[in-house]
Structure 1
Amino acid sequence: MISFASKDLIALVMAFVWPLTRILGLIAVAPPFGNRTVPTRIKLGFGIVIAFIITPTIPPFADADPLSLAGMMILIQQFVIGLGMGFVMRVAFAAIEMAGTVAGMTMGLGFASFFDPQTRGNTSAISQFLVLVATVLFFALNAHHSLLLALMDSFKSIPISTTLQSGFDFHRLAIWGEQIFIGGLRLSMPLIAALLLANVALGILTRAAPQLNLFGIGFTITITVGFLILATILPYLSVPIENLFQLAIETIQTLGQSSRHSIP
C-alpha cells in the first residue's frame, strides 16, 4: 500500500501550484489568451493543462511551507513573473493597436470609435481590424507555440527559488515598453506618408482654386486614399507583425538574463 506523509504531499502540491501561478499570470495578461471575452473557466482549465505538461520538466527547487512567509513570497513572485512575461506580448499587440489608431485619425476616422471590452475604453475601427488580423497571424505563424515554449524555458532561466532574487530582469521589461511607439510607427508609416502627400495635394489644389470646398471633398478623398493604401499594404503587413511577435518571444526568453542592454 502506498502512503504519503503530509510533508511529501504538501511538497507535491506546491510543485504544481507554484508553476501554475506563473502560467496563470501569463494567461491573464498575454493576448489573445488574456482577452476579456475568453471565459475564466477556459483560462483556468488551459492553465491547469499546461501546468500538468510543464511540471515534470521543471528543475527541482527548495521546499518551503506554503503557509509560511517564504511560501507566500514564492507565490507572489511567480505571479509577478507571469504577469511580466504576459506584459511583453501585450505590448506587441498594443503597438498594433496604436498603429491602427494613428492610421484612423490620419484618415479622418477618429470619430469612428466604439467601446472595446478588452481595454474598457474607446478604440478606432481601423485599430480593431488590425488587431483581428494580428490575432489570426499569431495563430497562423504558430507564435502561440513559441510563447508556450518560452514559458517552459523560463523555469530554467528564472527558476523557482525561496530567495527574493528571482533573476527576473525588470529593467529589460521596462525598456520593452518603447516598442509600443516604435512598432506602431513602423506599421502605420506607409499610410501616414500616403495621406501626408494627399493632404499636401489638397492644400495646393485649394490655393489654386479657392472656390473649392476643402471640407466637402477633403474628408472623402483622405478616407478613400486611406482605404486604398490600407488594402494595398495589408498583404505586406505580415512581415513586420511577424518580426514584432518574434522580438517579443526573444524578449521573454531573455528576461532571465541579468544584462542591462537595451532592446535593439
Structure 2
Amino acid sequence: MPPVFTVNSVQWAAWMAAFLWPFVRMLALVSTAPIFGETWVPRRVRVAIAVLLAVVLGPTLGPMPDTPVVSAGGLWIMIQQVLIGGAMGFTMRLVFAAVMAAGEYISLQMGLSFASFFDPMGGGGQTAVVSRLLNMLALLIFLAVDGHLALIAALAGSFQALPVADAPLSAQGWMFLVQSGGQVFSTGLMLSLPLVTALLTLNLAMGILNRASPQFSIFAVGFPLTLLAGIFMLELLMPRLGAFLEPRFAAGLAGMTDFVTALRR
C-alpha cells in the first residue's frame, strides 16, 4: 500500500508564512523598482516575477517567525514587508529621478520647457521631451550593465541583513531614505551642468551682442541658435552618459543595502 501524504494545519501555516511574507516584500520592490515597476510592465507580469522569486529564494531564507499569518501580528509583519520592499525600490528609483531632473534643467535652458507631452509611461503627467529621452537611455544603460540582476541580488541579500521578523523597524533607516532624496537635485545638476553652463554662456554672449548692436533681433536669432547649440551639446553628452550613470547605479544599489542595515539598528 503506497504511503499516504498528509498535511496538518501547523505545516500548512508554516508553508504559508515561508512563502507569503517574502513574497510581499518582493512584490513591493518589483512594483516600485526601475525596469520592473515601469507602467508599461503589466501587473500580471510583476506578480509572476514576485511569485517566481519567492519560490526560488523562499527555501534559502531560513525559519520564519512563529506568528500566525492570519493574526494581528501577521498583518503587522506583512505591512513591514511592504514598507521595506517599497522603500528599497524607491531608493533605486531616486537615481532615475535625478536623470529626469537633469532633463528638466536642460529643457529649461534650451527653451524647450514648453515641449512636454502626456506621458502614460511616466505616471500619466506632463513630461519634458529631454527628460523622457534621458530616462529611456538610463533604463537601457541599466539593462546593459545588468542592473536588473544586481537589483535581484540586493533583494536576496536584504533577507540576510534584515530577516522577516515582528521586531520594530529603526527610524534611522527612514531618515537615511529622506537624506538620499536630496541627492536627486545635486546629481541632476551635475549631469546637466556642462550643457547648462554652455547655454548660459551663449545667452550671455547674445545679450552683450544685443546691447552692442540694438538692431540685432535677439528674439529672431536667439531661440534657433540656443536650440541648435543644445542639440549639439546633447550629442556630446550621450557617449559619456554611461560612464556617469554606472557609478550612480552602484551607489543606488549600495544605498538599498545601507537602508536595510539602518532599519535593524
CA offsets 1:213-259 (integer angstroms, 9 cap, x no match):
11111100110000001101210111111111111000001112239
Q: Which among 206, 211, 217 is matched to residue 213 of structure 1?
A: 217
Which residue of structure 2 lines up, in the alignment, with residue 119 of structure 1? 123
Q: Is the 8 A contact 1:158 1:166 kept in 2?
A: no
Please report how far the alpha carbon of residue 49 of structure 1 lies from its aligned counterpart in structure 2 after TM superposition.
0.8
Q: Is the 8 A contact 1:168 1:256 kept in 2?
A: no
Which residue of structure 2 lines up, in the alignment, with residue 143 of structure 1? 147
Please report how far the alpha carbon of residue 212 of structure 1 lies from its aligned counterpart in structure 2 after TM superposition.
1.1
Please report how far the alpha carbon of residue 30 of structure 1 lies from its aligned counterpart in structure 2 after TM superposition.
1.1
The SS at the match of 1:114 is: strand
Q: Return 5+ residue gaps in structure 2 as ranges.
A: none
Which residue of structure 1 lines up, in the alignment, with residue 53 of structure 2? 50
Between the aligned partners of 1:104 and 1:144, the Cα distance in structure 2 is 29
Which residue of structure 2 lines up, in the alignment, with residue 39 of structure 1? 42
Which residue of structure 2 lines up, in the alignment, with residue 106 of structure 1? 109
Between the aligned partners of 1:32 and 1:246, the Cα distance in structure 2 is 16
Query: Which amino acid in 2 is paired with 1:249?
Result: L
CA offsets 1:121-178 (integer angstroms, 9 cap, x no match):
1111000000010010000001111111010000011110022237871111111101
Q: Is the 8 A contact 2:102 2:131 kept in 1?
A: yes
Which residue of structure 2 lines up, in the alignment, with residue 262 of structure 1? none
Q: Give 1:47-196 correspondences, 5 Å limit.
A: 47-117=50-120, 118-165=122-169, 169-196=173-200
The SS at the match of 2:260 is: coil
Query: Which amino acid in 2 is paired with 1:172?
Result: F
Change (3 A) 1:16 1:66: same
Change (3 A) 1:37 1:185: same
Change (3 A) 1:195 1:187: same
1:234 equivalenced with 2:232 (yes/no): no
Between the aligned partners of 2:89 and 2:254, the Cα distance in structure 1 is 13
Query: Which amino acid in 2 is paired with 1:95?
Result: A
Structure with the largest fraction of helix: 2
Between the aligned partners of 1:71 and 1:247, the Cα distance in structure 2 is 33
Which residue of structure 2 lines up, in the alignment, with residue 15 of structure 1? 18
Please report how far the alpha carbon of residue 183 of structure 1 lies from its aligned counterpart in structure 2 after TM superposition.
1.1
The SS at the match of 2:206 is: helix
After TM superposition, what 4+ stretches of structure 1 lie above 6 angstroms from structure 2?
none
Q: How many residues align?
A: 259
Between the aligned partners of 2:102 and 2:241, the Cα distance in structure 1 is 11
Query: Which amino acid in 1 is paired with 2:197?
Result: A
Q: Return 5+ residue gaps in structure 1 as ranges.
A: 260-264
Which residue of structure 2 lines up, in the alignment, with residue 246 of structure 1? 250
Q: Is the 8 A contact 2:170 2:262 kept in 1?
A: no
- Cα root mean square deviation, aligned: 1.4
The SS at the match of 1:16 is: helix
Q: Give the structure-2-normalised TM-score.
A: 0.94
Q: Give the structure-1-normalised TM-score.
A: 0.95
Q: Which among 203, 208, 219 is matched to residue 204 of structure 1?
A: 208
Between the aligned partners of 1:256 and 1:86, the Cα distance in structure 2 is 12
The SS at the match of 2:261 is: coil
**Identical aligned pairs, as a percentage?**
37
Q: Is the 8 A contact 2:117 2:129 kept in 1?
A: yes
